[in-house]
Amino acid sequence: MSDPRSFLREVYGSALAAVDGRRLVARTLSSMAGGAPREAAVLAIGKAAPAMFAGAVSAPGLAITRALVITGTAYLPADRDELRGAQLVTGGHPVPNQASLAAGDALLRFLADLPPDEPLLILLSGGASAMVERLPDGIGLDDLARLNRWLLGSGFNIGDTNRIRRAVSAVKGGRLAPLLRGRPAELLIISDVPGDHVHDIGSGPFSPVPAEARPLPPNLPDWIETLVRHAPPMPAADDPAFASIAARIIANNGSARAAAANRAIASDVKVYRRSTLVAEDAEAAGTAFADTLLRSGAGLHIWGGEPAVSLPPDAGQGGRCQHFALAAAQRLSGAADVHVLAAGSDGCDGGGDQAGALVDGGSVARGRAAGLDPADCLRRADAGRFLAASGDLLPAAPTGTNVMDLMFGLKS
C-alpha cells in the first residue's frame, strides 16, 4: 500500500466499527424483540453508555419508559440530542470523585423509583467501576481516590484490580441485583476484560461473583485490608436475585481483532494474529511486538489486550498504549519498513487527551532531535511527552465502545 500509516488508521477504524455500541445494541434488541412492541426502562453505564443508549432508542419495537445514562465527560457524544429523554449523569474516570458518588446516588434512586413490574434493560460497558460508586460506612472519598490511584500504578491485571474494587464498595460485586426485586432484566454487555467474565466488567454490579473470584490478592497494604473490612458482603453466587437477570456479551476484543483481520485480507495483506491477549508489562510487550515484526515477513500483526504499567512516584504523561508504542519504537529504530499503532478501543489512553500512538522506525530519531531520551521517558512513565515530540500521538475521541486495547504492526 502507498501509505502504511493511513492503512493502519483504516484497520483501527474497521476494528472500532465492528464493536460500536450503537449498532450492536440496536441489532441485538431487534433480534430479541421478535417484532412485538414492548416497554422497558433503560439503564446505561460506562464508557460506551451514550452509544449503547442511542442504539436502544433506534431499536424498532422498544418503547423506553424512563432512562438513566451514566458515563464520563470524555465519552460524551458531540451531538447530545442522542441522549434526549434520558437523565444524564457524569462520573469521574479513571479516579472516582464526588461526581462518581453522585452518580451512585442517582442510580439507587432510579432503581428505587421503578414500578414493581416494569422490565429493565441494562447496558453495561467498562469504565463503570470508577464512574459510579456508593461508599460503605466508614470509608471516605479520599480513601476511595487513594485506593484507585494505587491500583492504577500497581501493575495488577484487571481481574485482581476488580477483586479489590468489589471488596471496597456497596454497589459492585452483584450488590445491586437484590434492588431489582425480582423484575425481569436484560443485561447487554460490551466486554473489556479477558475471558469476558461478567463479574469483572464494570466490577459486576448486577452479576454473581463465583467463589474462585472472591479471594483478594496476597500481601496487600494494611490500609487496604482495613478498607475491605467496612464493605457489606456480596450476595452469594446462587442468590435468587440473579435469577431474573439475563446477561449477554455483545462485543469483545476478539470481535475487533477479527474485523481488523478482515480489513487487511480485503487488501491482500497477509495477517498474523496472536491468539492470547496481552496482559504483561507494557514495555516488555511492546519490545516483544517489535521483535516479532522484525523477524516476520510482510504483513499485518494483530494483538489485543491490556498491558500493565507500574507507575513511579513521579510519573509523567501517557498511558498503556503510548508506553507500549514507545517501547516498540525503541526496538524498531532505524527500520524503514515497519509501523506500529497501539490505541485504546475507547479512544482514550491513560486518562489524557490521547488515544494512543502510531510509531515507525524514525520515531526515536525524531524524539531525540527534540532533546528527549526514549529509555529515560519509559523509565519515568513519560512516553506521552516523547511521542508528542516525535509527532506520533493519536488524538482522543469517543468511539462508542470499550473492548480493551488494540495493537497493529505493519511490515511492508
Q: What confidence category does residue 218 fall into, taking pLDDT thresholds of 50, 70 and 90?
A: very high
Q: How far apart are CA 237 and CA 96, in angstroms?
A: 27
Cβ–Cβ under 8 Å, residues 283 and 312: no
In the three-class reduction of DSSP (H, G, I as helix; E, B as strand; rest coil), residue 67 is classed as: strand
Q: How far apart are CA 69 and CA 84, in angstroms?
A: 11
Q: What is the pLDDT of residue 352?
A: 75
Q: How far apart are CA 40 and CA 120, in angstroms?
A: 5
Report pLDDT digits (tens) over 307-326: 988 888 888 999 999 999 99
Among 57-61, 198-202, 357-361, 400-404, which is the least confidently predicted range? 57-61
Which residues partner with 404 through β-bridges?
Answer: none
Report pLDDT digits (tens) over 118-137: 999 999 999 999 999 999 99
Q: Residue 75: what residue type?
A: Y
User: What is the length of the chain?
Assistant: 412
Q: What is the pLDDT of residue 311?
A: 85
Report pLDDT digits (tens) over 219-265: 999 999 999 999 999 999 999 999 999 999 999 999 999 999 999 99
Q: How far apart are CA 7 and CA 358, in angstroms?
A: 11
Q: Is the pLDDT of residue 409 over 90?
A: yes
Q: Is the pLDDT of residue 36 over 60?
A: no
Q: What confidence category does residue 266 fall into, taking pLDDT thresholds of 50, 70 and 90?
A: very high
Q: Average pLDDT in the 84-90 region?
A: 95
Q: What is the pLDDT of residue 155?
A: 79
CATH classification number, 254-411, choose in 3.40.1480.10, 1.10.3720.10, 3.30.590.10, 2.30.29.30: 3.40.1480.10
What are 207's three cell numbers? 452479576
Q: Average pLDDT in the 334-351 region?
A: 94
Continuous segment of H or E residues that includes residue 167: helix 158-167
What are 232's three cell numbers? 457489606
Among 81-85, 89-93, 391-395, which is the least confidently predicted range? 81-85
Q: What angle separates helix 21-33 from helix 49-58, to the nearest 10 degrees?
A: 40
Entry pTM: 0.94
| Boundaries of every domain in the chain | 20-251, 254-411
Q: How far apart are CA 49 and CA 71, in angstroms?
A: 6
Q: What is the pLDDT of residue 102?
A: 97
Q: How far apart are CA 210 and CA 115, in angstroms?
A: 30
Cβ–Cβ under 8 Å, residues 175 and 234: yes
CATH fold of 20-251: Rossmann fold (3.40.50)
Q: How far apart are CA 267 and CA 349, in angstroms?
A: 28
What average pLDDT is seen over the chain? 94
Q: What confidence category does residue 37 fall into, taking pLDDT thresholds of 50, 70 and 90?
A: low
